[in-house]
A and B are shown apart, each in its own frame.
Chain A
Amino acid sequence: MTEKKYLETHEWFSINDNEITVGISDFAQSELGDIVFVTLPSVDETFSKGEGMVEVEATKTVAEVYAPMDITISEVNNKLDSEPELINSDPCGDGWIIKGTIKELENIGMSYQEYESFIS
């Protein structure tokens, strides 16, 4: 499993062989506030890089989670259906959102340190 990388749109992802795991950053969840609903994609759905995969609904707004690279969904975090607040309490752990397979590994994203200076 690679180190987590971060995007300017506040997703994090990590990669294990050709499997990618995507969630949103701690900063993103604190900006959104209490999350009340997550619209998850179906397994086998495909998304091209930059496309919205997931809608995260908070009390004050709705945010999209974008595909970091071309992805075919292999697993979604079904726990989020009943416990969307997992994204608030553990955004980088139990609050992961989707897993998917990637064809091509792209060298993108910021390290945690880079992301920290990006958001501050």
Chain B
Amino acid sequence: MSSGGNASSLPLVGGMPEPTIKELSKPGRRAFNYPKLDVPEEVIEHEAIKTEKAPLPEVSEHDLVMHFSRLAHRNFAVDLGFYPLGSCTMKYNPRFADWVASLPGFSNIHPSTPSHLSQGILEILYILEKYLIEITGMDYASFQPPAGASGELTGLLIIKEYLQRKNLNNKKNIIVPDSAHGTNPASAKMAGFNVVEVSTDINGLVDVKELKTLVNDETAGLMLTNPNTGGLFEEEILEISKIIHSVDGLLYYDGANLNAIVGVCRPGDMGFDIVHSNLHKTFATPHGGGGPGSGPVAVKDFLREYLPGPIVEKSDDKFSWYQPKYSIGRMHGYHGNFLVALRALAYMKLLGKEGLDDLGSYAVLNARYLASVISKSLPLAYAKPCMHEFVATVKDLKKSHKIKAYDVGKALLDRGFHSPTIYFPLIVEEALMFEPTETQSVDTLDDLSETISIIIEDLKLNNQNLNTYPKNLPVGRPNELIPAKHLTVNWGDFELLEITE
């Protein structure tokens, strides 16, 4: 194997579980020293001042570094192996973008700095806005939303505000395909809309006939990602857009799958009125660990005044902040996660127009190649050629050999590949969803396909128990039930958990 799937290249650190940092804590240990007090001491008396010690772990700097390094070494990462997690765009993030974001002029500037002293920062957001609207076919953008789901909520709040201003108060329904990301219906609900589900037809596309029966005066809009979550291009998108616009509804584009179409086609040209882009996915910021991300929302001209403000304006070669007239308000402190936006601009500059024009095509080429080789061992859910990702299923293997998608994912981890997305989209049984992205070589794609075929063949022949996978990793099958049943977000609650289970 030449790349990706080489389990022995993963650092297999010890067999002992890593203690929590609380268990490493010893009273009095510190990872820092305050400088000597060189001003007169003053006693502050205020009711907010606490008398008890803050319950923080007390560790030395070396203990701290070792602890988190050990955890990091047990984790699978984009920089260690192939990470074909569908719907997540886990591509390589060039170090160049990190370097740019680490420059002190960017990383040390305070967001309250007045605009006449931070013209460069405003200019960066201005240029990125121009690039982003060129890529998506929109007119204006706000960089406040810090993630995709926040972008969705922003878009829906814009729709709501817009409809209210137009006195279209009967419009309460947001239509969402049954294959959509779970965040779509959740965002629609959070914004106060009813969710109406439209089915996927046998080819994996929005059932346009059914859509027509669902659309009426109460339709506020439609949320769609194109290509959809099955990795298929919604060919009837112009018709869909016409149907929604015919009742004065708005079209929202979920940018989760933007990576498939960059440089090829644009949501704005498909008829979408609002688009969010996941800068961290499509434009290269390491993600998946909970942030920071960036989900800027771009809109057509007629929705500009509803954007979360302030946004950047340019006049007479000067950049300034502008608060849109009917702005839905803030979605984040200050201007969103600026350094993620900056990385996106660095990445775009690095690729140049030529590179960006190829981005979507290469992502699709890789996915189609991988689909064609994997389909020799696993049937695909849909017959149509895929875009940047595709869905395979072990439905039949489950019946004949009791192989589950979950087991295949775990067996792959054991052989040095991250699992594809499993059990999504929900409408495909025992789904395995692969997204190779444009940054993998053909050798890596071959490795993955070969490994899958070995896993499946091995299992069919020997009837072995996949439940025992992974065998070679420091962490095997974590208990997924306990954290789902008991939401414990406080560090102190862990002991309590161990007692209950």
Contacts and interface: CB of A to CB of B under 8 A. Distances in A.
A36 interface: yes
A36 B481 contact: yes
A59 interface: yes
Nearest to B426: A61
Interface string A49-81: 000000000011100000000000000000000
B183 to A, nearest CB: 14
Interface string B370-401: 00000000000000000000000000000100
B485 A37 contact: yes
B52 interface: no
Interface string A76-120: 000000001000000000000000000000000000000000001
A17 to B, nearest CB: 36
A34 B477 CA distance: 14
Contact of B480 (A34, A84, A120): A34
B134 to A, nearest CB: 39
Interface of B: 399, 406, 422-423, 426, 480-481, 484-485
A29 to B, nearest CB: 14
Contacts of A60: 406, 422-423
A37 B484 CA distance: 9
Contacts of A59: 480-481, 484
Nearest to A63: B426
Contacts of A120: 399
Interface of A: 34, 36-37, 59-61, 84, 120
Contacts of A84: 485
Cβ-closest 4 pairs across A and B:
A36-B484, A60-B423, A34-B481, A36-B485
A61 B485 contact: no
Contact of B423 (A34, A36, A37, A61): A61
Contacts of B423: 60-61
Contacts of A61: 423, 426
Given A34-B481, A60-B422, 16 more contacts: A34-B480, A34-B484, A36-B481, A36-B484, A36-B485, A37-B484, A37-B485, A59-B480, A59-B481, A59-B484, A60-B406, A60-B423, A61-B423, A61-B426, A84-B485, A120-B399
Contacts of A36: 481, 484-485
Nearest to B480: A59
9 contacts: A34-B481, A34-B484, A36-B484, A37-B485, A59-B480, A59-B484, A60-B423, A61-B423, A84-B485
A84 B485 CA distance: 9
A22 to B, nearest CB: 22
Contacts of B426: 61
Most buried by B among A36, A61, A120: A36
Contacts of B481: 34, 36, 59
Nearest to A119: B399
A108 B423 CA distance: 31
B424 to A, nearest CB: 9
Nearest to B405: A60
Contacts of A34: 480-481, 484
A112 to B, nearest CB: 19
Contacts of B480: 34, 59
A34 B481 CA distance: 7
Nearest to B485: A36
Contacts of B399: 120
A110 to B, nearest CB: 19
A27 to B, nearest CB: 12
Contacts of A37: 484-485
A54 B406 CA distance: 26
A120 B399 CA distance: 8
A59 B481 CA distance: 7
A34 B480 CA distance: 9
A116 to B, nearest CB: 13
Nearest to B486: A36
A71 B396 CA distance: 36
B65 to A, nearest CB: 34
Nearest to B484: A36
Contacts of B422: 60
A41 to B, nearest CB: 19
A35 to B, nearest CB: 9
A30 to B, nearest CB: 10
Contacts of B485: 36-37, 84
Nearest to A36: B484
Nearest to A84: B485
A98 to B, nearest CB: 21
A84 B486 CA distance: 12
A83 B399 CA distance: 29
Most buried by A among B406, B423, B480, B485: B485
A120 B402 CA distance: 12
A73 to B, nearest CB: 23
B431 to A, nearest CB: 10
A13 B499 CA distance: 37
B192 to A, nearest CB: 21
A59 B482 CA distance: 10
A60 B422 CA distance: 9
B430 to A, nearest CB: 9
A36 B480 CA distance: 10
A61 B481 CA distance: 13
A59 B477 CA distance: 14
